[in-house]
Amino acid sequence: MTGLAAEIEVGCEAVRAASRLCLSIASSGIDRMEKSEREPVTVADFGSQAVILRAIAAGFPDDAVRAEEGSVDLAAAGTSAVDGVTAAVTDALGSAATPGEVFAWIDHRGRPGSRMWAVDPIDGTKGFLRGDQFAVAIGLIDHGVPVLGILGCPRLELSGMQGVLVWGGPGIGAFVQSLGDGKVRRIGVSGVTDPTRARMLGSVEAAHGDPELLQQVVEQLGIGGGWVRIDSQAKYAAVAAGLAEVYVRPRNREDWRERVWDHAAGAAIVAGAGGSITDLDGLPLDFTTGDVLDLNRGVLVSNGGLHAAVLGALASIG
């Protein structure tokens, strides 16, 4: 038995509600806005974060939170964006929310301590806007270790289910639930160790990686299963469910640092499914350095069986 039953229940319910909010906004047309570093953001990003942090604040008020969005960017987007988010949150909760409450939920950061929730209300906003994959992601980090991950992937087909919730962690296992009929199945990584049968996962956005380096890894190991390209942490869900074996995420520039909320949930789930997660030098991901993984170079996620071979190839490529 895991000791995280309440966290799983509250987290999964929040991610289901946030996933519905995102799909509902997508079906009525999404306006793209821009925040710092010219990254896209939408009404759904803010609404999803408000719904999730409201639940975490109520259920686990003593836990710390790191989350991608802040109300400053929503305020800067103007009145119609604020009204849109407030209406979407009201709809998701089934009771009237005020703009003041919505701002406070978006900015909830809890109390510093040993437990921290890493929240990306829409991971893969570019995919969300394109009509492709995205993930509502929450990870719970305890003393620096991702112990629980929950991903809402409303457009992902996994284990024969269309639109899924995926959760798991070390000592928990990993599970997929249909967002439609609620059926639950246990998932696990693929047992493939022969590189000629291995499938590579990659971003849709080439600018989020280093396509040349990835091609060198494929050639050096003779990886023959082809590419699966998916936006967001849905890539971690794909490894966890055995849809592909290797996800190499190099830096695309020396100064880029991966965000904790882009990896915490996925890392917990893949660990629960029996896979491995390190950086490209084979070091464990260090989730204790703030909003970014400051001490890690890139990320390598695999089914475990191919991990050492990929690290060897990366070391020889340099």
Question: For ligand AMP, what does the binding mask look like between residues 252 and 291, x meaning CB under 6 A?
Answer: x---x--x--x-----------------------------
255 is catalytic: no
Close Cβ partners of 225 (under 8 Å, ≥ 6 residues apart): 192, 196, 197, 198, 199, 200, 244, 245
Please pick, among 63, 86, 123, 125, the residue that the annotation labels catalytic. 125
Number of Cβ atoms within 10 Å of the Cβ of 208 = 17
Q: Name the pairing type of β-strands 227-229 and 33-34.
A: unpaired
125 is catalytic: yes
> Which of 109, 115, 208, 229 contacts ligand AMP by CB under 6 A?
208
Specify the amino acid at residue 11.
Answer: G
Site for Mg ion in 110-129 (CB under 5 A): 120, 123
Asked if 231 interacts with Mg ion (CB under 5 A), we say no
Q: What are phi and psi of 6, to 5 degrees?
A: -70, -40
Q: How far from 97 is each of 76, 90, 91, 120, 205, CA to CA, in Å?
A: 20, 5, 9, 21, 36
301 touches 250 (CB < 8 A): no
Judged by beta carbon, residue 19 or residue 203, the one nearer ligand AMP is 203
Q: How far from 270 is each of 32, 126, 148, 149, CA to CA, in Å?
A: 31, 23, 10, 9
Site for ligand AMP in 77-106 (CB under 6 A): none
> Which of 59, 205, 288, 289 contacts ligand AMP by CB under 6 A?
205
Minimum Å distance from CB 123 to ligand AMP? 5
- Select from 103-111, 199-207, 249-257, 259-267 the region that touches Mg ion (CB under 5 A): 259-267
> Which of 45, 73, 258, 262 contacts Mg ion by CB under 5 A?
262
> Which of 121, 124, 275, 305 contacts ligand AMP by CB under 6 A?
124
Asked if 231 interacts with ligand AMP (CB under 6 A), we say yes
Close Cβ partners of 100 (under 8 Å, ≥ 6 residues apart): none
Report how far residue 299's alpha carbon sits from residue 285's, in angstroms, rounded to the nearest whole number.
8
Catalytic residue positions? 45, 125
* Binding-site ranges for ligand AMP (CB under 6 A): 123-124, 203, 205, 207-208, 231-232, 252, 256, 259, 262
> Which residues of the chain form contacts with Mg ion (CB under 5 A)?
120, 123, 262
